[in-house]
Structure 1
């Protein structure tokens, strides 16, 4: 996710009416007055994985899913889905990324063999720039003055400026699972979907029908919009908005118990949003309510060009204690 927008309303009744107006049909939302009402519907905790759980949908990566992924490898071709981390890449807001090699060489000659060495110094919001994995400590919701995240964890109880004491990415583990590509740009016969384009459930189903696939529990779902073609070509347009999921399409995926959603965009969801009353509602729906992770700023062009719609997917977030996210280079293998 790249930038802040106007804060969402704190009135449950307004959120409810907006959500129904968008066709989400959320049976869990209430119209004010209930003790468990929040700005995003009824309380979402405890998790289906237990009241102490910090892994969310990563619990769906079972040995059975790993073996299912293994069986999808046919010719051994590897697709790197991560972007280069480099100077000049699209960066949200005032975040930054810098890599320098101090000294050149950093380590002066030592020993009779005159060994020299170089090290790098990296600074920046390392988990939230470039290809980025959103952990469950990344996005929450303010409820009656308390900032509440996945599984009801309160920021006042687990927040620490030197690393979160709950929901850090060190809890996630490894994703090795079945992956599927939903090429929405292709079924819309578009080179690139425009900024603000809202992907709907019918379009996701059309992608599945075209590829003769179904979504299974624990899958990784990749969404191609064509927006990634702007990366390092037109960074201004890339960063000022994007096509992506609406709330109804997000529910389509969480209803099918996916583990992870990725896209060739910086926030997974449509920006501008479906309603200017809401700020990144799909993030809250996926991460906060359902514990489903995001992988953003992916390169899906080679995968789409080869029409690879089902594959083994692999990604291991860095074990950064207390971090909200992680960099990395996810891969697909066919």
Structure 2
């Protein structure tokens, strides 16, 4: 995609952004009526996580993993009588290439602005002052839909560098007998996690499967409220001249979509197949981190 083609696509998607969305962006599409409809997805009461285990060991895709330090009583310092507490502390890079996380709308600065034309100077040394993860403080609750592209193509995973197109999304809907509707949380499986588990980690900063930028037109047409993937949603190498993360720019900056990156879908796929359906109630609860551009998350699917 040329720079001019990308600019035209960005402008089209930005024009289609719903009026009055404000700081919540596309989350405004999830109305109380949508939540009630999503609650009707609960039939068996089965729950399943969509988050990967937090990485604490360095790897080619995570050179600075989460640091986990025990700060309280541990083996060798435990007294035989009285009260003690086991305590610990975590420190992590939220926007890494391994841990499951949510991108807030202040995460992407493009052409000197944030989503909705918000001044990028609102991102300060002490944190962002607008479009932060705090906009999702009440949680993201809605109807989740998983579209499994490797399943559609009859492969275990998409090879790094491959793209998911709008046609793939439509074909997956048809094959899975599910329809993505307004206010839905759309999850697109590329098989990144399964490939990592079976073949080992690699440097995903330069090579990974993801959505093609034009696939975002499908999301706009269907009025999707949130986009998530078991990769980081963007393909590498980038398909777009001069833009390393075109899907991030289009989704967050143009459309106001919160993104969920590097989720874990392998357990979810098994439950979807066992339940015979690919839609479910989904609950995402980001941490209330002041001024934060994102948050680690553990999205839960409820059947």
Band the TM-score falls in, shorter-chain normalisation: 0.7 to 0.9
- Go from structure 1 to structure 2 and tell me whether the alpha carbon gap of 1:191 and 1:60 turns closer, same or farther (over 3 Å shift): same
In 2, Cα distance between the equivalents of 1:255 and 1:43?
A: 10
Contact 1:90 1:130 in 2 (8 A): no
In 1, Cα distance between the equivalents of 2:230 and 2:82?
A: 46
- Go from structure 1 to structure 2 and tell me whether the alpha carbon gap of 1:114 and 1:324 turns closer, same or farther (over 3 Å shift): same
Structure exhibiting the larger radius of gyration computed from Cα positions: 1
TM-score, with length taken from structure 2: 0.88
**SS of residue paired to 1:141:** coil
Corresponding residue of 1:50: 20
Alignment of 1:190-229 (within 5 A): 190-229=155-194
The count of aligned residue pairs is: 295
Q: CA deviation at 1:299?
A: 1.1
Instruction: Give the helix-richer structure, 1 or 2.
Output: 2
Q: CA deviation at 1:296?
A: 1.1
Whose relative contact order is higher, 1 or 2, with alpha carbons under 8 Å and at least 6 apart?
Answer: 2
Corresponding residue of 1:15: 3
Corresponding residue of 2:145: 180
Q: CA deviation at 1:103?
A: 4.5
Corresponding residue of 1:327: 296
Q: CA deviation at 1:298?
A: 1.1
1:88 aligned onto 2:57 = yes
Cα RMSD, aligned residues only = 2.8
* Match 2:228 to one of 226, 243, 262: 262
Q: Write the deviation string for residues 254-277 of structure 1: whole angstroms up to 9, x where unpaired.
A: 221111111111x21211122353
Contact 2:3 2:241 in 1 (8 A): no
In 1, Cα distance between the equivalents of 2:12 and 2:229?
A: 28
Contact 1:16 1:41 in 2 (8 A): no
Contact 2:106 2:123 in 1 (8 A): no
Runs of 5+ in structure 1 lacking a partner?
1-7, 9-13, 20-25, 30-39
Corresponding residue of 1:37: none
Runs of 5+ in structure 2 lacking a partner?
none
* Match 1:124 to one of 92, 96, 110: 92
TM-score, with length taken from structure 1: 0.80
**SS of residue paired to 1:203:** helix
In 1, Cα distance between the equivalents of 2:224 and 2:150?
A: 21
Contact 2:41 2:281 in 1 (8 A): yes
- Go from structure 1 to structure 2 and tell me whether the alpha carbon gap of 1:248 and 1:74 turns closer, same or farther (over 3 Å shift): same
In 2, Cα distance between the equivalents of 1:42 and 1:309?
A: 30
